[in-house]
């Protein structure tokens, strides 16, 4: 009880009311595909966490956009929430340590929490020339991944680069960049996107803490709760040419169809993600709603297979 009080007081001191927090928990519970009866339990995971799994967050070939998306989220407190439920032992962007001390932190965390920590990987791994295209502290990404990932309880590949190679792995890919799972022959839970929606990472971790297991995955390693349907299947623009009322409003099915962005290159029919329902920036909007066609950022090799962007396939 005291712990809960402290949590809500901490939120309040950051200008976040209990109501805002419960609103977020309601959205998160719906995103996870759980019924509304789970909302109080989801809130409890944050307010009174039974355990805080240690996390080692590795950065490889990437732009840090995935971390930025999480930490600069419009939910003013999402970074706080993540830090409430996770014990982040190593994260190059947010930790105070640098240089040799940072390296020592990494080795110490892996040793101390061997078999118990969650490894989050952001960025792709260079595989050609013995991994020579990407290094941290004189060691290749490949070497670091081979050492750290097998010692983790589970590995989450955050973003399309870590999951499938992303832009680093786009043709002609001189460094032989691939996703971390492919690089070292390990299975990973993938949360792709460029960047991914932070709510899908939070949902995965809360699923783990609440139900004691990782969520069910599709054949590309993605949580089904977030990547089980195509963008097109959930797109409100689709209704314009399938809904009689809109067809009447637009004058003809052809005119209503013009509201859809398919002819300007929307890859919604080929792309699995929950952007239309999870949305971005505190549920404000998402690319297709704002008028930009989906470019298929959560699909493997999308820089090669979905281009040229903005042209009908």
Q: Which residues bind ligand SF4 (CB under 6 A)?
A: 193, 231-232, 235, 237-238, 260-262, 266, 268-269, 271, 273, 275, 286-288, 294-298
Min CB(243)–ligand SF4 separation in Å = 12
User: Is the CB of 38 or the CB of 262 nearer to ligand SF4?
Assistant: 262
User: Is the CB of 73 or the CB of 273 nearer to ligand SF4?
Assistant: 273
User: Is the CB of 221 or the CB of 287 nearer to ligand SF4?
Assistant: 287
User: Is the CB of 54 or the CB of 296 nearer to ligand SF4?
Assistant: 296
Min CB(286)–ligand SF4 separation in Å = 6
Closest-CA residue to 230 (of 275, 269, 285): 269
Min CB(234)–ligand SF4 separation in Å = 8
By 3-state DSSP, what share of the chain in percent is helix, strand and coil, each rounded to 5?
50, 15, 40
d(CA 17, CA 181): 40
d(CA 27, CA 242): 27
Min CB(200)–ligand SF4 separation in Å = 11
The contacts of residue 71 (CB under 8 Å, 6+ apart) are 79, 93, 94
Min CB(38)–ligand SF4 separation in Å = 25
User: Is the CB of 176 or the CB of 223 nearer to ligand SF4?
Assistant: 223
Give the residue ranges of DSSP H helices in the chain: 2-13, 18-31, 39-47, 65-71, 78-85, 99-112, 141-148, 159-164, 180-184, 198-211, 224-227, 231-234, 236-242, 244-250, 253-257, 275-278, 302-305
Min CB(63)–ligand SF4 separation in Å = 15
56: phi then psi, degrees, rounded to nearest 5? -115, 115
User: Is the CB of 205 or the CB of 297 nearer to ligand SF4?
Assistant: 297
- Cβ atoms < 10 Å from Cβ of 76: 13
Determine the residue with CB nearest ligand SF4.
Answer: 268
User: Is the CB of 223 or the CB of 296 nearer to ligand SF4?
Assistant: 296
Min CB(230)–ligand SF4 separation in Å = 8
User: Is the CB of 47 or the CB of 297 nearer to ligand SF4?
Assistant: 297
d(CA 179, CA 185): 10
Min CB(307)–ligand SF4 separation in Å = 12
DSSP single-letter state for residue 199: H
Q: Is 240 in a helix, a strand, or coil?
A: helix
- With left for phi above 0 and alpha for psi between -120 and 50, is residue 193 left, alpha or beta? left
């Amino acid at each position: 009880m005291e712990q809960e009080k402290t949590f809500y007081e901490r939120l309040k001191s950051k200008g976040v009311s209990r109501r805002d927090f419960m609103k977020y928990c309601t959205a998160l519970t719906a995103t996870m595909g759980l019924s509304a009866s789970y909302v109080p339990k989801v809130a409890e995971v944050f307010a009174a966490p039974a355990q805080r799994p240690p996390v080692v967050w590795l950065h490889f070939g990437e732009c840090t956009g995935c971390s930025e998306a999480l930490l600069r989220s419009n939910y003013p407190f999402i970074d706080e929430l993540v830090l409430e439920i996770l014990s982040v032992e190593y994260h190059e962007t947010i930790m105070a340590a640098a240089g040799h001390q940072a390296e020592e932190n990494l080795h110490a965390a892996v040793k101390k929490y061997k078999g118990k920590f969650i490894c989050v990987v952001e960025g792709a791994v260079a595989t050609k020339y013995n991994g020579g295209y990407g290094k941290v502290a004189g060691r290749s990404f490949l070497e670091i991944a081979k050492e750290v990932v097998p010692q983790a309880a589970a590995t989450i590949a955050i973003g399309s680069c870590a999951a499938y190679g992303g832009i680093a792995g786009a043709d002609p890919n001189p460094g032989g960049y691939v996703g971390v799972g492919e690089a070292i022959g390990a299975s990973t839970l993938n949360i792709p996107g460029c960047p991914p929606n932070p709510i899908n990472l939070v949902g995965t971790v809360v699923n783990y803490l609440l139900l004691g297991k990782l969520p069910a995955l599709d054949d590309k390693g993605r949580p089904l709760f977030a990547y089980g349907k195509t963008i097109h299947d959930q797109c409100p623009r689709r209704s314009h040419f399938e809904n009689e009322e809109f067809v009447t409003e637009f004058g003809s099915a052809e005119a209503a169809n013009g509201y859809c962005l398919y002819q300007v290159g929307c890859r919604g029919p080929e792309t699995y993600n929950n952007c239309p329902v999870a949305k971005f920036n505190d549920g404000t909007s998402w690319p297709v709603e704002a008028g930009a066609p989906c470019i298929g950022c959560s699909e493997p090799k999308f820089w090669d297979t979905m281009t040229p962007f903005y042209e009908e396939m």
